[in-house]
Structure formats: C-alpha cells, structure tokens
Amino acid sequence: MFDFPISELMDDSACLGWLERHLHPAGLCCPRCGSRTRRDFRPAQAFPSYRCRDCDRPYTVVTGTAFEKTRQRPATVVLLLRGVTQGVSSAQLSRELDLSYKQTLTLRQRLQDHANETAPIELMQGIHFESDEVYQNAGKKSDPHRDPNDPPRRRANTKPGHGTFTKDRPPIFQVISRQTGEVRIWVTETADKETCQAILTTLLPPGSILSSDELAGYGPWPDHFTVCHSQKEYARDADGDGVREVHCNTCEGAHTGLRTFLRIFRGVHKAYLACYLAVYEAMRNAKRITPAIIQWLCFGTRSHTSYT
C-alpha cells in the first residue's frame, strides 16, 4: 500500500455541496429551531457560517456532527469519510491528508463511536440463518504496560482455537440471513452458551432455522442444524432433497473478508474492535455510500430499518 495524496485535486466548493446534500438532504436549517431563514455570518471560512434569523444561532453545514469545530477543509472531510468507510488505516490517512496522526485518529474514533453506539439491534429479516464465530488476536495496542504482571502480548503467543476477551482473543460472532444477505457482527467477552443464546434471541425471529457448526452454545436453539468440521463435514443434506442446505460456509467466507479488513490496521486495540467492525458491518450491508450512511456516521443517529 502506498500513499497517493489527492486533496489538492479536490474542489472545496464541490465537496461542500456534496456534504450539504448528504448531511441535509431535506435542506440546511437551523439545528436549534429548524428555521430555514438565515443570513451570512462568516462566509469567508472553509465552511461558511450562517446565523438564524429566528433564534440568532450561528451554524454551518457540519454543526452537530463529528466534524464540528475541526477547522478542516470540505475536501479533507470528504476524503476522511471516504477513507474510514473504505477501511484505510489512520496512519495512511494522516499522511495523505497532511493531518497529525492524533487528530486523524480522534476524528476516526468519533465516526466509529457513532457507528457502534447506534448499530442495528432489531430482528433480522428472513427464515434461514447462518451463524459462526471467529477469534481475532486483539491486545492493548499503544497502551503502556508498566505493570510487570501485565506484559505486552507477543505475536502468535496464543494457541489456536477458542479465545476470550480477557486473553486478547475476543470472539466475533457473525449472523447472516440467507434470504436478504444481511450480516450482523457482535464482539463478545466469551463464546459460552449464555452469550450465544443472547445474540440469537436478539437477532433471530421466532421460528427461524439456524445452521452452524457444533459449538455447544448454539445447541438450545429450537430449529438448529449443524455440521461437524472436526470430521471434515462442511455441508449436509438434512431433508434428502439432494441440496446440502446445512452449512455455515457463507459465514466462513465472511470471516475472510473481516480479517482482510482488519489486517490493514496492523493490530487493533480490543477495546475499539467493536467500533471498527460496526463500520465494516454497515458498509458490507450497504455496498455503497448513501446519505443515510453519511448522516449515521456524522450525527450518530439513523433509522435502523434500512442502510439506504
């Protein structure tokens, strides 16, 4: 991966118009009273400032968003949003946008916090679902380890297999609907039975059919079919119709995409892992940038009924 700065090639007026259309699709209005009558206040700034004629409040296009009071060019804001949604590392973004690494990371964390705090939790659509878990090495990146009883985690110092959040291998559950293709991702402390059932009860409609591997935590689900990976079984025909419908291969493939997404960051602090994956989940489901995604990242609120 190499740097290719393009901020100087971006037109600030065009980027400002793009941000206004995506952040305020119904039209820019006063964030306090909702009035659309305004006058120019400080038009010479990178983001022109207006003053409401009704409540006398000053505001800009990015007032109330993660970029409020950041003093960045519109082109920088657009490129930062593009980089975060595409999974570009903070180090590369800071170099390409000529920002400090600390400032870039702060802005990224604001966007990712919005994504994680307002991630969808309503029931998924469909009848047949797959679920599988993967264990990701994630320690305490960039944290000083002054306690001799809490040394830094050395790479590959854990045995393959199941892990826990405490042991720097947090479980990541992925649940996928076969009807809609929607994926939900959860980072948990452990992969025990209580955790598995809590996730399934939260996401799956009653009467859903679940396909998974033989992890014991999935067992209590009523309509549950499994394949035994330890015996080299990866797909099975349960009803004898010639179609091997019992498998979790969709989840296995999704795990590959998830690891590829995380690899570019060269390690993620386990406390922020869920925030990175919230953005990954949204972009995997949405497939493309929409005003709803931009508003969700910048304001921290959105309707969970649709990513579009």
Average pLDDT over residues 154-163: 63
* Residue 36, φ and ψ in degrees, nearest 5: -100, 0
The answer to whether 25 and 15 have CB atoms below 8 angstroms apart is no
Q: How far apart are CA 215 and CA 235, in angstroms?
A: 16
Q: CB within 8 A of 103, min separation 6: which ones? A: 94
For residue 139, the model assigns a pLDDT of 84
- Which band of pLDDT confidence, cut at 50, 70 and 90, is reported for residue 241? confident
> CB neighbours (10 Å) of residue 206?
8
Predicted confidence (pLDDT) at residue 223 exceeds the cutoff of 80: yes
Stretch (H or E) spanning 52: strand 49-52
pLDDT in tens, 5-23: 888 889 999 999 999 999 9
User: What stretch(es) of the chain map to CATH 3.30.420.10?
Assistant: 128-139+159-287
**CATH number corresponding to 128-139+159-287:** 3.30.420.10
Average pLDDT over residues 273-283: 95
Q: Which of 154, 208, 220, 216 is nearest to 184 (CA)?
A: 208
Predicted confidence (pLDDT) at residue 33 exceeds the cutoff of 60: yes
pLDDT in tens, 55-73: 999 999 999 999 998 889 9
Predicted confidence (pLDDT) at residue 155 exceeds the cutoff of 80: no
Q: Which of 134, 141, 112, 117 is nearest to 277 (CA)?
A: 112
Q: At what angle do helices 12-23 and 291-299 cross, to 10 degrees?
A: 90
Lookup: tokens for 96: 């390409």
Where is pLDDT greater, at 29 or 160? Answer: 29
Average pLDDT over residues 279-295: 91
Average pLDDT over residues 297-305: 73
